[in-house]
Structure 1
Amino acid sequence: MTVVQALVLTGPGQAEVRAVPAPVAADGEVVIDVHRVGVCGTDVELFTGDMSYLQSGITSYPIRPGHEWAGEVTAVGLGVDPAWLGRKVTGDTMIGCGHCERCALGRHHVCAERHELGIRGGMAGALAERLALPVRALHALPDTMDATLGAMVEPGGNALRCVEAARTGPGDRILVLGTGTIGLLVALFARARGAEVHLVGRQNNDLELARALGFANAWTREVLPARAWHAVVDATNAPTMPALALDLVEPGGRIVYIGLAGAPSTIDTRELAFRDVTAVGILGGSAGLDGAIAAYADGSVDPRQLVAATVALTGAADVLRGNRPPGAGPGPKIHIDPRT
């Protein structure tokens, strides 16, 4: 039996690299050699045991995580166009059933029976040397796109959906709460569309990378100027921030919620109604993946500075424990190369 190396979460705070059976392309599937994987906050919560799916029983250990990835197709199953062989690809995290009304309407990311790669439904994730995936979830990458950019497509798709939901463009002023990967990507995509971008971080140290990326309007909450914020994006995990977003947005403006707090957060819906504010929730980057690929390919958005380091698969557990690799840059994202 052919085996590959994969990261397996066996319980809260427990992770190890194991030899597992190599994936085989079933009907309608491909097998990908994985070149790069991003470690996400969701992966960390799966590792710590804090992820809500674990509390609700939707997900249980053992888990093979990893959903931000890039690689190359090396095998195809029955019914798959062989032209996929050798293609650089990334893929959707949300794998709908393909048959329900939501899937038919293009809302497979909220399909009640969906799998989430490396997160939900037992589908083995990308923190492994090889990955099997339905071909309908694949997104082709340009030959010129490297693995670093490819593995940033999934978070980029989430960020692009936020910017589209905020409906910001030239002349608009957007406030982004949070300077992690998603917050900075939202800022990059919003700037590419001509908006005036401001960011809020917890402390000055959190703002250094934002300023290095050219965002001079980076503030802590204490010094945030009073402005008319046409849109506010909450990309934090703090339960107090959704209400703050509502306090700050202009009447008639839009709030986009993508950050998920570990505890319930509340807003006063009376204020939402009285001020005619539109609030939008974002789950997953599915509808934004192609747009993110296009923006990376044409250079209008370049997320490379967000990647602090790339380490081997054997270093993944240490990253999940919150340890930054020696020599890591200032970016919030750590990448894993499963081939090393």
Structure 2
Amino acid sequence: MSSTMRAFVLTGPRQGAVHEVPSPRAVPGEVVVDVERAGVCGTDVEFFTGEMAYLHQGHAAYPMRLGHEWSGTVSAVGDGVDAAWLGRRVMGDTMLGDRTCRRCRKGHQHTCENRQEVGIRGGRAGALAERVAVPAWSLHALPDAVDPVLGALVEPGGNALRAARAAAVGEGDRVLVLGPGTIGLLTAMFLRATGAEVHLLGLGDSSFARGLGFAHVWTRETLPELPFDAVVDASGAAALPSLAVDLVEPAGRVVYIGLSGQRSELDTRALVFKDVTAVGILSASPGLADTIAAYAAGTVDPRPLVGATVGLDRVGAVLAGERFAAPKVHIDPRL
């Protein structure tokens, strides 16, 4: 293994480039993975613009290496790691709890106060690079049916799967997803697999979502007056959390997975008077294994969401707003 590698390094707001950096080493308990695909996420864009809250809360600082949606092949293992991981195709959990606190012991390591997040929090370098080092316990093996593209879609898919399950809908139910971006469309795919009637609400052109087989795609102006048993807010708009409660049926469920860049307000009296259940989804961690299984079985195929696969030298342009025909952009560090 080379002593150096190429990685995209973000040095400040809107300042980033590909650098030659030291290759990670497999320290005890960890592995090194040769990255085959890494997705660019809205969180990465917030770090690029400088808006990400972690930068202002002390959880992250420049310079940093982004990339938390990835797949690849294990190329080195550290002491104490089963050598059977060598050569295996894997993806990994983003959330790395300390594994000792009360939350971790209760199985909620993704909410650990002391957690690292790969490419996001606590100085843990991400996968917009030729290689990434992660704890062996965070790995999930990928079956042959889950190719590198699907592997890098497991992390966003895990978030979406959890959101779809939190909606608690099925045959005969109607659900509305606010925000038809990557997470919203993934959530809609998992909801469709339950047999529910899925509607989407966005800002404009609905052709892409309709091309994925979703017939009910609306704007705020065209949304019909229908009873929605659940509403999933996958948007980044500060006004939509309140709208979700307005639109859901009494005794329904509202699921919040989108995050706005500014504070959103919600009148809890509306929740109480309508007897609505509200659920927040933070992380993919509890849904990763089932997402891999769903992809392997073909229950959900999100590959059409990937509009382009480019090399590391295009990361800066993608973060700055370069757009393609589909919402998700993948990076192949080998290009």
Partner of 1:260: 259
Match of 2:319?
320
Other-structure match for 1:124: 125
Distance 1:283 1:96 in 2: 14
Match for residue 277 of structure 2?
278
Q: Where does 1:1-340 land on structure 2 (aligned, <5 Å)?
A: 2-203=3-204, 205=205, 207-324=206-323, 328=324, 330-340=325-335
Deviation at 1:284, TM superposition (A): 1.1
One-letter identity of the residue aligned with 1:95 = L
Q: What residue identity is the alignment partner of 1:240?
A: A
Residue 144 of structure 1: how far off its partner (Å):
3.0
**Aligned equivalents of 1:20, 1:113: Cα separation in 2:** 27
SS of residue in 2 equivalent to 1:222: coil
Q: Which amino acid aligns with 1:135?
A: A
Report the Cα distance in structure 2 between the residues aligned to 1:135 and 1:69, rounded to whole angstroms: 15
CA positional deviation for 1:168:
1.3
Give the aligned residue type for 1:179: P
Q: Which runs of 5 or more structure 2 residues have no equivalent in the other structure?
A: none
CA distance in structure 2 between the aligned counterparts of 1:73 and 1:118, rounded to whole angstroms? 18
Give the Cα separation in 2 of the matches to 1:309 and 1:24.
Answer: 30
Which whole-Å CA distance do the structure 2 matches of 1:16 and 1:132 have between them?
Answer: 20
1:294 and 1:193 map into 2 onto residues whose CA distance is 15
Could you say what secondary structure the match of 2:294 adopts?
Answer: helix
TM-score, reference length from structure 2: 0.98
1:122-160: per-residue Cα shift (whole Å, max 9, x none)? 000000000100011101100232111110000000000
1:23-45 Cα shifts (integer Å, max 9, x gaps) = 11111101100000000000000
5+ unaligned residues in a row in structure 1: which ranges? Answer: none
Q: Percent identity?
A: 62
List 4+ stretches of structure 1 deviating above 2 A.
Answer: none
- The alpha carbon displacement at 1:57 in A equals 2.3
Report the secondary structure of 1:131's partner residue.
Answer: strand
Paired with 1:240 and 1:187, the residues of 2 have a C-alpha distance of 21
Per-residue deviation, residues 289-310 of structure 1 (Å, max 9, x unmatched)? 1111111111110001100000
Give secondary structure in 2 for the equivalent of 1:59.
coil
1:187 maps to amino acid? A
Q: Which amino acid aligns with 2:157?
A: G
How far did 1:106 drift? 1.1
CA distance in 1, matches of 2:290, 2:128: 25
Counterpart-to-counterpart distance in 2, 1:110 and 1:33: 28
Q: CA RMSD in A?
A: 0.9
Q: TM-score, normalised by structure 1?
A: 0.97
SS in 2 for 1:225: coil
Kindly provide the amino acid, as one letter, of the partner of residue 257 in structure 2.
Answer: I
Structure 2 counterpart SS, 1:223 = coil
Show CA shifts across 1:252-285 (max 9, x none): 1110001100110011101111111011111010
What is the rounded CA distance, in whole Å, between the counterparts of 1:27 and 1:58 in structure 2? 24
- Alpha-carbon offset, residue 11 of structure 1: 0.3
Letter of the structure 1 residue corresponding to residue 301 of structure 2: D
1:219-254 CA deviation, whole Å, 9 max, x = no partner?
111111111111100000000000000100111111
Instruction: Give the secondary structure class of the aligned counterpart of 2:221.
Output: helix
Partners of 1:302 and 1:52 lie apart in 2 by 32
Residue 195 of structure 1 deviates from its aligned partner by 1.0
